[in-house]
Structure 1
Amino acid sequence: MATPGAVEAKGTGGGTDKMAALKEIYKQLKAEVLEDHAAEIADHESAIQWIDRMVDYNVLGGKCNRLLSVIDTYKILKGVDVLSQEETFLACTLGWCIEWLHAHFLVLDDIMDNSQTRRGQPCWFSVPQVGLIAINDAIILRNHVLRILRRHFKGKPYYADIIDLFNEAEFKVVSGELLDLIITHEGRKDLTRYNETIYRHIAQYKTAYYSFYIPVACALLLASENIDNFGDVKNILIEIGIYFQVQDDYLDCFGDPVFIGKIGTDIEEYKCSWLVVQALKHADVNQTSILFENYGKSDPACVAKVKDLYKELNLELVFREYERELYIKLIANIKAQPNKAVQTLLKSFLHKIYKREK
């Protein structure tokens, strides 16, 4: 459980040096879980090499927003620009655990959605010779989180709280995934099943809780805070997380696949996306008929008709107005927080994603 001496705390300053330092901690964590595997399957080097490649392929390649959020939040809570070496390692390790958990979800989500690309490369299950082995790989990634947490946090006063936090995050995400899948199945029979209430529930459970609240909760626990005292902060972060999912849905249709790193498939997959919910809300009888006839079909002509309808309904403007009004509301709620450090961290979360394009 020793903190590595190779990574200096100053490496968390900014830019390339910062990411290089974080990658060094990632390499140590990966080496440790590979050692755990080697202890069980030492005679099967090919299996160890598979896991090595699989972890790199799925954990790396993203923007690492969850990882960076833990570190940045911890700095804000402590009121410092530079963390000590031990603080850097612990915050970074928790951040990487969230990224590992995120990778676990993405591998499974891509299989269920039959997605083609992720982060600008083929989805893991579609890589030659991988296929449905990816299901087991996703389970391995989830188990890595528990092993990393046990190795570096067992004995800490907040260890049980950290475990509870990650377990609760997984429970909410799989509940949201089930709701998404069930509602999609029902939507194929009756598209009017899609509405804003259902959409918010799916977005809250699948995205907002673990991508926005969990990084802050981890930092709060590191700072020896009682997370039960931060209910308002949790609610604001979840609202920001729902906004993030709305942005994702918007970019799935209107974003450039080369720029955002994936090909949008929400229309083909009959997803209860923010755009289709808004289309149902604003469409007249004829437009609703077009939506019913073409939504959820893989035929490029049908997809084009849905996108044309979105443009006809001016959903790009509807999105921009939603974004503007939500920003005003969130800033007001953030300013109402009595703790200035909390205000700062909430504003930093909001401004990282406000008007993002990928």
Structure 2
Amino acid sequence: MPPAAVLVDQEDVRRGVDGVLRATLDAERERLRDVSPDAETLADSLDAMLSGGKRLRAALCYWSWRAHGGDGEPGRSAALTVGAALELFQAAALFHDDVMDASATRRGLPAAHVVHTARHREHGWSGDAARYGESVAILLGDLALVLAGRALGRATAHLDRATTDLVRDLFDDMELAVTTGQFLDVHAQAVAWGADPAADEERARTVIRAKTARYSVEHPLLLGAALAGADAGALAAASSYGLPLGEAFQLRDDLLGVFGDPARTGKPAGDDLREGKRTVLVARALASASDDDRELVQSALGRADLTAGEVDGVRESLVRSGAVAAIESLIDELADGALASLESDALVEPGRAMLLALARGLVERDA
């Protein structure tokens, strides 16, 4: 099976979405320059963030549209433009997430707040450089949200009222879920951790469902289906496999955050450990590890100065505890159930086959 990144190129989906994003950024760059030449740096940062995306969310939206009977124009342009809106929404989430997690890198490059902190220092500007960089990154996230809304408006401009209302309601629901999930993630980092691994795991899975699963998989599928005129039953079916697939997608991400190859993931090895992310993987380890391994994991979590050797030691503890094998089993369980539901859904070709291939790629990826 081709990797998901290759599947995104089918029917020129990537090129079509990239074209919408390029037109959006070019227009925004001109508007920003008209306000002030100083503001053009915002367009540069948006361009950098968007240039590295896999376009998986956009592809899921497009192929859901196709699988639910979508074909030809103007539907294709609408599906691609909603896909671009999803990419802009993801960019907004990443700008904000990197500030909240104090992440140094994003997609193998310095995160936006790091870039603008360095720019402040290089120019010798007044005030706190780090605060300046974080402020710019927050505003970049806000700007990406504005552009996502504009793209959604363009996508629905020529649709009938019922479809337009449904698409906008779904997009609003997605934004609310992600914002709530982000708060729950921040909250989970602050509350007591380790005394009740079962409660810790449930909290981590709640964050996954709200923050990642919905906007990464479920809502792109729902938006594509809605654009094709799917009824309530078809939308419910898409949710039935979209949400578990989204959870499996994030669980794979959690494994890659500890065990992934930096050359493939674009983040330093063990970065999730240094950031102290309270994942299902860690909760499973604390529930089943030996006393020594539990102490090692707890003492390492959130230590920004972890060395490569110490990261290796934590990795070995996670494997010994059985947590890695347990997460792989959970991914398989979620993915198998979702794929069975997807295969039994009344979808049309070639969309059905492409959704199945993309779904497998989401959980079998190495980056």
Query: What SS class does the counterpart of residue 74 from structure 1 fall into?
Result: helix
**Cα distance in 1 between the residues matched to 2:14 and 2:66:** 16
Gaps of 5+ in 2: 1-6, 120-131
Contact 2:61/2:221 (8 A) holds in 1: yes
For 2:152, the equivalent position in structure 1 comes to 149
Query: What SS class does the counterpart of residue 272 from structure 2 fall into?
Result: coil
Superposition map of 1:293-304 within 5 A:
293-300=299-306, 303-304=311-312
Aligned AA (2:62): I
**Cα distance in 1 between the residues matched to 2:321 and 2:75:** 50
Contact 2:75/2:228 (8 A) holds in 1: no
The 1:53–1:195 alpha-carbon spacing in structure 2 relative to 1, beyond 3 Å, is same
Aligned AA (2:187): I
Residue 140 of structure 1: how far off its partner (Å): 0.8
For 2:359, the equivalent position in structure 1 comes to 350
Task: Give the TM-score taking structure 2 as reference length.
Answer: 0.82
Residue 276 of structure 1: how far off its partner (Å): 0.4
Match of 1:176 among 166, 174, 181: 181
Q: 124-133 vs 328-337, which deviates more?
A: 328-337
Post-superposition CA distance 1:72-108 (Å, at most 9, x none): 22222227xxx53533321111000000000000000
Q: 186-195 vs 218-227, which deviates more?
A: 186-195
Match of 1:102 among 71, 74, 90: 90
**Cα distance in 1 between the residues matched to 2:154 and 2:331:** 42
The 1:136–1:160 alpha-carbon spacing in structure 2 relative to 1, beyond 3 Å, is same
Contact 1:220/1:227 (8 A) holds in 2: no
Match of 1:278 among 284, 295, 311: 284
Post-superposition CA distance 1:179-222 (Å, at most 9, x none): 11111111458574753321211100111101111211221121
Superposition map of 1:127-142 within 5 A:
127=115, 128-129=118-119, 131-132=133-134, 133-142=136-145
Give the RMSD, CA atoms, in angstroms. 2.8
Residue 354 of structure 1: how far off its partner (Å): 3.2
**Cα distance in 2 between the residues matched to 1:220 and 1:334:** 13
Q: Does 1:25 align with 2:20?
A: yes
Post-superposition CA distance 1:148-174 (Å, at most 9, x none): 223442363222222222221111111
Q: Does 1:116 align with 2:117?
A: no
Q: 68-77 vs 286-295, which deviates more?
A: 286-295
The 1:98–1:17 alpha-carbon spacing in structure 2 relative to 1, beyond 3 Å, is closer
Q: 244-253 vs 185-194, which deviates more?
A: 185-194
Aligned AA (1:26): L
For 2:258, the equivalent position in structure 1 comes to 253
For 1:6, the equivalent position in structure 2 comes to none
The 1:120–1:221 alpha-carbon spacing in structure 2 relative to 1, beyond 3 Å, is same
Residue 260 of structure 1: how far off its partner (Å): 1.1
Q: 309-318 vs 126-135, which deviates more?
A: 309-318
**Cα distance in 1 between the residues matched to 2:362 and 2:24:** 28
Aligned AA (1:28): A
The 1:26–1:345 alpha-carbon spacing in structure 2 relative to 1, beyond 3 Å, is same
Q: 244-253 vs 57-66, which deviates more?
A: 57-66
For 2:37, the equivalent position in structure 1 comes to 45
Q: Does 1:59 align with 2:50?
A: yes
**Cα distance in 1 between the residues matched to 2:62 and 2:78:** 9
Gaps of 5+ in 1: 1-11
Superposition map of 1:145-294 within 5 A:
145-154=148-157, 156=159, 157=161, 158-187=163-192, 190=195, 192=197, 195-227=200-232, 229-263=234-268, 264-294=270-300
Aligned AA (2:19): E
Aligned AA (1:126): V
Structure of greater relative contact order (alpha carbons < 8 Å, 6+ residues apart):
2
Contact 1:283/1:313 (8 A) holds in 2: yes
Task: Give the TM-score taking structure 1 as reference length.
Answer: 0.84
Contact 1:187/1:270 (8 A) holds in 2: no
Superposition map of 1:310-321 within 5 A:
310-321=318-329
**Cα distance in 2 between the residues matched to 1:354 and 1:193:** 24
Query: What SS class does the counterpart of residue 276 from structure 2 fall into?
Result: coil
Contact 1:237/1:346 (8 A) holds in 2: no
How many residue pairs match? The answer is: 340
Contact 1:73/1:219 (8 A) holds in 2: yes
Q: 96-105 vs 292-301, which deviates more?
A: 292-301
Contact 1:67/1:94 (8 A) holds in 2: yes
**Cα distance in 2 between the residues matched to 1:174 and 1:218:** 18
The 1:346–1:107 alpha-carbon spacing in structure 2 relative to 1, beyond 3 Å, is same
